[in-house]
């Protein structure tokens, strides 16, 4: 893949893949589905055209959950460690990459936050509270 490609992997290292820019989109999604699937305030999703995504290892270990009734939402995860991994977006030519599992800098930055109206009531922008490089001192 191109020189600018970046690799990603799950927590246990079974699943590995790579992607190459330019991406179709890079955004935070605060919708209730993404909050549940990520267990966090929002998902950080990179969308990449099919030709710019490739598995490097562990594709057979990937478990697939398709939310009944959902048009495009799906959750694919490593069957060993449970880390969410990339999935092909139904009906689109793109793959969704959970940005948090990349092992390098994807080069591009998030363009926007969507489903802001669905954001969690406890969500604060990081600049609104103290930040520490690691645990609080
Ligand atoms: Zn894993
Ligand atoms: Zn979402």
Whether pTM exceeds 0.75: yes
What ligand is nearest to the CA atom of residue 31? 2
What ligand is nearest to the CA atom of residue 96? 2
**Amino acid 3: pLDDT:** 78
What ligand is nearest to the CA atom of residue 42? 2
29 contacts 40 by C-beta, under 8 angstroms: no
Ligand 2 centre and the CA of 114: distance in Å? 8
Provide mean pLDDT across the span 57-82: 95
Convert 47-72 to b/e letters by CB count within 10 Å (16 or more is b).
bbeeebbbeeebeebbeeeeeeeeee
Looking up tokens 């080069």 gives 107
Position 29 pLDDT exceeds 90: yes
CA 27 to CA 40: how far, in whole Å?
15
Question: How many contiguous H segments (helices) and E segments (strands) does the chain have?
Answer: 1, 11
Ligand 1 centre and the CA of 107: distance in Å? 24
Q: Identify the CATH number of the domain defined by range 15-121.
A: 2.170.150.70
| Arithmetic mean of pLDDT over the chain | 96
Comparing 1 with 81, which gets the higher pLDDT? 81
CA 49 to CA 19: how far, in whole Å?
9
Question: Tens digits of per-residue pLDDT, 101-122?
Answer: 999 999 999 999 999 999 999 9
Ligand 1 centre and the CA of 92: distance in Å? 26
Domain residue extents for the chain: 15-121
Ligand 1 centre and the CA of 61: distance in Å? 8
**Amino acid 84: pLDDT:** 98
Question: pLDDT grade, residue 24 (50/70/90)?
Answer: very high
Ligand 2 centre and the CA of 22: distance in Å? 21
**Amino acid 2: pLDDT:** 66
Ligand 2 centre and the CA of 29: distance in Å? 4
């Amino acid at each position: 893949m191109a020189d600018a490609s970046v690799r990603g992997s799950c927590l246990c290292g079974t699943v590995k893949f790579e992607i190459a820019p330019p991406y179709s989109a890079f955004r935070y999604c605060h919708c209730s589905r993404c909050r549940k699937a990520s267990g966090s305030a929002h998902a950080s999703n990179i969308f990449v055209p099919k030709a710019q995504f490739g598995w490097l290892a562990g594709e057979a270990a990937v478990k697939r959950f398709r939310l009944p009734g959902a048009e495009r939402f799906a959750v694919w995860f490593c069957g060993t460690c449970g880390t969410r991994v990339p999935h092909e977006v139904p009906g689109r030519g793109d793959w969704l990459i959970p940005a948090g599992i990349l092992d390098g800098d994807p080069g591009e930055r998030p363009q926007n936050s969507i489903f802001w109206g669905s954001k969690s009531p406890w969500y604060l922008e990081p600049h609104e509270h103290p930040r520490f490089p690691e645990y609080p001192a």
